[in-house]
A and B are shown apart, each in its own frame.
Chain A
Amino acid sequence: MCAEASPTFASWFGRRGWSPIPWLMVCVLALGTGVHAQEVNPRGLAVLEFQKKLGDYVSLHKREAGKVPALKQTDSPAEIAGREKLLGEAIRQARAGAKPGELFDPVATIVRGVVRQDMARRTVRERKALLIEVPQGLRVVPNMVYPTTLPLATAPPALIQELPRLPDELEYRFMGRHLILRDVKANIVVDVLTDVIPPNAS
């Protein structure tokens, strides 16, 4: 359909020696003046900026993943662990100097609010069950390896649903009172948003 529609559109305007572009610009400007500044969704803009940062990270991940052996089904756990380690090291080097909050920054306030609301709507028992296996007492910084000896505390589906969507390479997890972005294949902490869980949550 598109393949047919485009030439028709172009030839229609072409026949009259008329370009639609200036008219489209006028329409956009006209529409723009009708939209008041206060109607711009600040959450949407923040999430867009976050998505852009995530996209940049995914590009970096893919670039570094291309430099290490491909991960495939294997009988050898050494191969899996070796690849995970290599990828983690490559990404760490590429992101040397990554600062806490670097990716989260545009949505930090939104995420804090979402987590606070999520915790508030849970009963004490639910919060306890949720937080009981969250690793505690660790200094959490970007680029650290997520310790494989520790459980990956479950990310509650209701919370995931409220948080900005992540690409396949990343997931949200809690460590202590912090929310982290974890690279699933490299098993490293990509970013951390500190103290998102209210101190009295559990």
Chain B
Amino acid sequence: MIGRRIALRVVLPGVLAWLVAVVPSGDVFAVGQAGARASAAPQPAVHQLPHEKDSVKFAVIGDSGTGGRQQYEVAERLASAWKAFPFTFAIMLGDNIYGSERPQDFIRKFEKPYAPLLEGSVKFYAALGNHDDPNQRYYKPFNMDGKRYYTFKVGPARFFVLDSNYLDQDQLTWLQQELSGSREDWKISYFHHPLYSSGARHGSEVDLRTRLEPLFMEHGVSVVFAGHEHFYERLKPQHGIYYFTSGGAAKLRSGNIRRDSTLTAKGFDTDRSFMLVEIAGEEMHFQAIARSGTVVDSGVVPRVRRESVPSKP
């Protein structure tokens, strides 16, 4: 289907009006500075990934495990992208297996759609979503090492994978210890529930944010990825941290990003999507790619330097 209906909320002086428009699949919107207006923005120039030899290359998929046609189509697009951009691992932002979790479901909802990547030795590192049985942590292809929350290192980057479904004191203590002990240049965290979100269905997870963000700020986390919301959203940096929501690798909540949100830097909620990321030196380059293959967002994120970590609010 080429056309997709999206609702564009436009603020007129003193009046809110809802317009319904048909835009081609792959169009994106950017929200204005004050967040008071929204418009279908022209496609910006695509920021190309640098493809450096020794850089850290990875893909990001969230809310992927439906086993449905759309998951397979996104997976095919991801496999094509991998041929051109040979990422060595993929991070999964939770809801890895929706619905029943019988052995055949792991095949239909994970092993089969991502078979070209698994055969190509791409490693998957999963976070748990609210639709996942926590015993998925014992499933070797998810590389969780039997833990609900864990950390791994690739080159100059350390990833902190959390179980945002159940953030208890033990997990917070563990995170504090791991973050303070980490000496890597890049600290990246990912988990299922977004700390900031313009989603009309869920929105920001304030409880989680209250506990996690001070730790991220204190220890120089540069980037945070989350899923849960079935769309793509790049948030305006919050306290020096770049937040991405990428929960549309199979499911879509069409038109769910609130057009009056002051949080959105870029949003895409008219089709499924995934991300490609490359960390090269002091910069993290990213592209968000729709199922159609269109690059719907791209850019560069600078690393947070320890000495420039903002003080606690």
Contacts and interface: CB of A to CB of B under 8 A. Distances in A.
Nearest to B206: A126
B145 interface: yes
A77 B164 contact: no
A73 B146 contact: yes
Interface residues of B, number: 36
Find the residue from B101, B146, B211 having the highest chain A CB count within 10 A: B101
B138 A74 contact: yes
B212 to A, nearest CB: 9
Contacts of B136: 80
Contacts of A33: none
Given A81-B102, A155-B165, A171-B166, A74 B203 contact: no
Interface in B131-182: 131-136, 138-141, 145-146, 164-170
A161 interface: yes
A76 interface: yes
Given A75-B140, A125-B203, A153 B130 contact: yes
B168 A157 contact: yes
Nearest to B129: A151
A184 B101 contact: no
Interface residues of A, number: 35
Given A76-B103, A149-B100, A157-B211, A185 B135 contact: yes
A120 interface: no
A156 B207 CA distance: 7
B167 A160 contact: yes
A73 B138 contact: yes
Contacts of B146: 71-73
A133 interface: yes
A77 B210 contact: no
A94 interface: no
Interface in B194-209: 201-203, 206-208
Interface of A: 71-78, 80-81, 84, 125-126, 129, 132-133, 148-149, 151-158, 160-161, 165-166, 168, 171, 184-185, 187
Interface of B: 99-103, 105-106, 130-136, 138-141, 145-146, 164-170, 193, 201-203, 206-208, 210-211
